[in-house]
Structure formats: structure tokens, C-alpha cells
């Protein structure tokens, strides 16, 4: 299990990058600290995300490079 933190606070599940793109949000330069709860090891990762929609505006997939 992993913990996700921004500015020292836990990021709620519904605010994680995958969940945000499922809500059709586009974002960039989201830096999160990720902690492995079993080992205590931590690292920082930068996220950007965007939903991909078809011509009718229907959700096709998400892009999290």
C-alpha cells in the first residue's frame, strides 16, 4: 500500500491523478510525495493528466504521461 502526500497532507483517494482524469479534469505539474507504507521509502513524482474524448464528448480513455 502506498500513501500520497501534497504539502505534507494526505491526498484523498478522489483527488489522485487517475480519479481526476476519470472526472474529465485536465491538470499538469502536480507533484506528489509517494510513500511505501511497508518499507517507509519515499519519492517524489510529477503528474500531468487529461481525459481523451471522442467527437461526441464521450470518455474514451485517459492519458497520464
Q: Dump pLDDT digits (tens) for 12-44.
A: 999 999 999 999 999 999 999 999 999 999 999
What does the block give as the cell for 53?
474524448
Q: What is the pTM of this model?
A: 0.82
Whole-Å CA distances, 31 to 1, 8, 18, 34, 53: 19, 12, 14, 10, 25
Q: Where are the domains of the chain?
A: 2-63
Torsion of CA 18, 3, 47, 11, to 10 degrees: 70
Res 1: pLDDT: 80
Amino acid at each position: 500500500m502506498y500513501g500520497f502526500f501534497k504539502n505534507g497532507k494526505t491526498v484523498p483517494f478522489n483527488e489522485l491523478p487517475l480519479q481526476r482524469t476519470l472526472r474529465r479534469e485536465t491538470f499538469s505539474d502536480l507533484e506528489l510525495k509517494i510513500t511505501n507504507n511497508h518499507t517507509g521509502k519515499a519519492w517524489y513524482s510529477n503528474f500531468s493528466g487529461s481525459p481523451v474524448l471522442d467527437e461526441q464528448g464521450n470518455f474514451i480513455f485517459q492519458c497520464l504521461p
